[in-house]
Structure 1
Amino acid sequence: METLDYVPLRLKKNEERRLLAGHAWIFSNEVDVEATPIRSLEPGQPVTLQDSRGRTLGTGYANPNSLICARLVTRDADHPFGPSLLVHRLKVALSLRERLFEEPFYRLVHGESDGLPGLVVDRYGDVLVAQITTAGMERLRDALLSAFEKVLRPSAVLWRNDSPVRSLEGLDLYVQPATGPIPETVEITENGARFQVPLLAGQKTGWFYDQRDNRAWLRRLSTGARVLDLFSYAGGWGIQAAMHGAEQVTCVDASADAVAQVEANARLNRVDDRVQALAGDAFEVLRRLREERARFDLIIVDPPAFIKRRKDLKEGTAAYRRINQMALQVLARDGFLIACSCSQHMAADALEKQIHAAARHVDRQMQILSRGGQASDHPIHPAMPETAYLKAILCRCIGQ
């Protein structure tokens, strides 16, 4: 039995319905604060969740300072939330990835979808990069390190706890080595290409494994093509396009460090003679390319989330339309566009609608060839639409 100190957290009448349907979040307005005052709890407090009649629904943790005031981790009364459950869930997550992938380069833990809310872990061989986003998981930092050691015995673990989401939980932001020497870069392979991935100075947890399956589209599209890779980061799209026969690739990113990484990865894969990297704002670069009457046969638009909060929906939606419309203005006749969104608040059909509207504005007809989502190491919880965030649309844009 775990040694954590669990306290009861009782819900109002009928507020357990969403939990019983499979969801794992409890909002503050669903709690019976007279029976169990939320404000008396500590951030990250282990709790036993109860319905209005006091029946146990499971165990998890709470945070009185967050709108999501509690998260259900397990419904099994015999195996409550705690250190040994962390080990078990890690083993289950690892067994899935080992079945899916031949090499140890993947997202090992994807939050609620792997039964570990508030935790993301990316694996780079024997190096782990972990990100904690909730107070409940923060309280178990030492237990997590112990679980990593029991299950994987990594040579190094990096805490990449600099996500702004932590502020909503009242947590500090930091990037900190946990164990072992952290290499400046690690090498991974994806779809036959090799990449040097920056860990300490890279974006988020280092690499965007979630686009792995969508980048496989490039095998069929790249031969002889002029390719434009916008928001390229370390060149995940552009380098693979060059390796699959692209005639010329232009990668664009606002970060000078990312541009340097693209150049290094192009040399690593011996395609540097066909890959050019530009530092600049994607909107400004597209404006200049249009003035120069540049044309590309394949354009990838894979921006950071334009819609981080629901209140950003209108402005962010307009940004998706604008960037794709500008891309279409430099897309060659009958060219291919891969348009992506990692904004959880934007539905896939909404992204398609904006691209279609952009195509009509520039007098092009859009054909949708394929729809993609996040790779299988980013599983989706069927009761939690919040875990499905990535959209990728492969389309061809032809004249009238």
Structure 2
Amino acid sequence: MERPTLTLKNNEERRLRAGHLWVFSNEVDTKKTPLTAFTPGQEAVVTASRGRPIGVATVNPGSLISARIMDQDPEVRLDADFFRARLREALAIRSRLYSTPHYRLLFSEGDHVPGLILDRYGDVIVGQLNTAGMDSRKELLLETIVAELAPSTVIWRNDSPTRDFEGLPRVVEVAYGTAPENLEVNEDGALFAVPALGGQKTGWFYDMRENRSRLCRLVGGRTVLDLFAYAGAFSVRAALAGAAAVTSLDSSETACSMAADNAARNGVAERVEVVRADAAAFLEECAAAGRTFDVVSLDPPALVKRKKDLEAGLKVYERLNRLAMDVLAEDGLLLTCSCSQHVDAYELRRAALRAAMARGRRGQILDQGRQGPDHPAHPAMAETDYLKSFLMRLVQQ
């Protein structure tokens, strides 16, 4: 069956030739190939203005990103064999990286399957179909997942705001099997549980695992503050690593309940104090009372969701870093993080530096982190290298 062609305007193919996977609507020659002629999710061959093929893509005429390149070979078909090969390729590297099946199995563009995210919780798979291209192939993808992984359950957590931009409804559904009450996570021997059909995103933030592991090497005998702790991943692991006392803080009642349950599950409840509070208000209260911590983890949610909000967002990052430094003990360690795609590592570093200077602290960067290897970055797409972190040692001037 012949596939339609999506033709670009003159010279708009250069970024794609360099490996980028997104075609924006203003790059399409709509006189030659009107976007209105395509149905959401339709497979097409993308060509340069003079007809030279660039690759095969899925198209969404109603989205700002009107096409996403799935493969640079224009002869490729987006059938079961294609997705089976991508899944096996992703599984091969995760199996080498992790000793248990608890990781992000497919990371969208990072694994050359734009729009598809799969997280693995033992024999339970939780996925997101974030584009019309993936959503329209939901049954094909489910068949492939079941055939390749033999899961007990597959859950689609299609409630991401990203789907709004694709004209897709938000919905959570159990696509295969029966959903357990909780998803179980084994992170370097620490055991966690989070609600299978609730919680944030797909349930667990696998992307911070390596950052947590590195910081846990430095917490023995120390007091620790874990801000924006969610289900207590770092809090519990810090206690297991020998921290003297851990304060696990989140503003969500549900998150605090999960953190407390996970601390008890790992036998460290007596050293993990769970606090429900606004992070900034808590830091101000601690500073006023003269309370300090040897180690502070500052990992807020994305504060810059749109490029136009960058300046305002950087001010919030700087303020949070200042407040965290106010409660950091002399010769303390601060892990400062940003998962905002629009904030690059240099900008986060500068925000932390300005905060340190404002608080009369000399800083040393001991480690620079990113998302874990189960969230691979696409080498041509800076957008996929979204998580940044700096582990800083801070002493008084």
What range is the shorter-chain TM-score in? over 0.9
Deviations 1:61-93 (A, max 9, x none): 111111111011012234322332111111111
- Say if 2:315 is the partner of 1:321: no
Helix, strand or coil for the counterpart of 1:221?
A: coil
Cα distance in structure 2, aligned partners of 1:356 and 1:13: 44
Give the distance between the partners of 1:131 and 1:163, measured in 2 at CA. 8
Does residue 312 of structure 1 match 2:304? no
Q: What is the CA distance between 1:116 and its match in structure 2?
A: 0.6
Residue 60 (structure 2) aligns with: 63
Q: State the AA in 1 paired with 2:65.
A: I
Q: How many residues align?
A: 397
Cα distance in 2 between the residues matched to 1:165 and 1:33: 25
2:230 aligned partner: 233
Question: Which of 30, 35, 49 is equivalent to 1:33?
Answer: 30
Q: Distance in 2 between matches of 1:288 and 1:57?
A: 57
For 2:15, what is the secondary structure of its paired residue? helix
Offset at 1:186?
2.2
User: How far apart in 2 are the matches of 1:47 and 1:182?
Assistant: 36
Matched, 1:141 2:152: no
Given that residues 86 and 112 in structure 2 are in contact (C-alpha distance below 8 angstroms), is that contact kept between their aligned partners in structure 1?
Answer: yes
- Give the counterpart of 1:267 among 264, 267, 292: 264
Secondary structure of the residue aligned to 1:250 is strand
Q: Distance between the aligned counterparts of 1:70 and 1:297, measured in 2?
A: 49
For the 8 Å contact 1:19–1:25, the answer to whether it is kept is: yes
Letter of the 1:30 counterpart? E
Which of 245, 248, 253 pairs up with 1:248?
245
Instruction: Name which of 1, 4, 8 aligns with 1:7.
Output: 4
Cα distance in 2 for partners of 1:323, 1:259 equals 20
Contact (CA 8 Å) 2:45, 2:74: kept in 1 or not? no
CA positional deviation for 1:220: 2.3
Structure 2: gaps of 5 or more residues: none
| Residue of structure 1 in register with 2:109 after alignment | 112
1:173-208 CA distance string (max 9 Å, x none): 111111111112122211221111222111111111
**SS state at 1:77 partner:** coil
1:94 is aligned to 2:91: yes
Q: Does 1:53 align with 2:50?
A: yes
Q: Which secondary structure state, in structure 1, belongs to the residue aligned with residue 269 of structure 2?
A: coil
Distance 2:66 2:189 in 1: 44
The 8 Å contact of residues 102 and 121 in structure 2, kept in 1 or not, is answered as yes
Among 181, 200, 218, which residue is 1:184 paired with? 181
The question of whether the paired residues in 2 share the 8 Å contact of 1:6 and 1:45 is answered with no
In the TM superposition, residue 358 of structure 1 has moved relative to its aligned partner by: 0.5
- 2:18 pairs with one of 21, 24, 28: 21
Q: Is the 8 A contact 1:218 1:244 kept in 2?
A: no
Compared CA separation, residues 82 and 60, structure 1 to 2 (3 A): farther
**1: distance between equivalents of 2:217 and 2:384?**
29
- From 360, 369, 374, the equivalent of 2:371 is 374
User: Secondary structure at the residue paired with 1:158?
Assistant: strand
**Which is worse superposed, 249-258 or 179-188?**
179-188
1:52 Cα deviation from its structure 2 partner = 1.2
Q: Which one-letter code corresponds to 2:380 in the other structure?
A: A
1:349 aligns with 2:328: no
Structure 2 SS opposite 1:349 = helix
C-alpha distance in 2, partners of 1:366/1:67? Answer: 42
Query: How far apart in 2 are the matches of 1:54 and 1:66?
Result: 23
What percentage of residue pairs aligned between the two structures are identical? 48
Contact 2:314/2:351 (8 A) holds in 1: yes
Code of the aligned partner of 2:350: K
State the 1:95 CA deviation. 1.0
2:117 and 2:129 in contact (8 A); partners too: yes
**Residue 56 of structure 2 contacts residue 76 of structure 2 at CA under 8 Å; is this kept in 1?**
no
Instruction: Report the CA distance between 1:44 and its aligned residue.
Output: 1.3
TM, length-normalised to structure 2: 0.98
Answering whether residue 386 of structure 2 is matched by residue 389 of structure 1, we say yes
2:159 to 157, 162, 170: 162
Q: Distance in 1 between matches of 2:4 and 2:79?
A: 14
- TM-score normalised according to structure 1 size: 0.97
Could you tell me how far apart the structure 2 residues matched to 1:79 and 1:88 are? 12
Question: Aligned pair 1:296/2:274, yes or no?
Answer: no
Aligned to 1:204: 201
One-letter amino acid of the counterpart of residue 304, structure 1: P
Aligned partner letter, 2:59: A
| Equivalent position amino acid for 1:249 in 2 | V
Cα distance in 1 between the residues matched to 2:263 and 2:129:
32
Match of 1:281 among 278, 283, 292: 278
SS in 1 for 2:173: strand
In structure 1, runs of 5+ residues without a counterpart are: none
Query: Root-mean-square deviation (CA), in Å?
Result: 1.1
Report the 3-state secondary structure (helix = DSSP H, G, I; strand = E; otherwise coil) of the residue aligned with 1:42.
Answer: coil
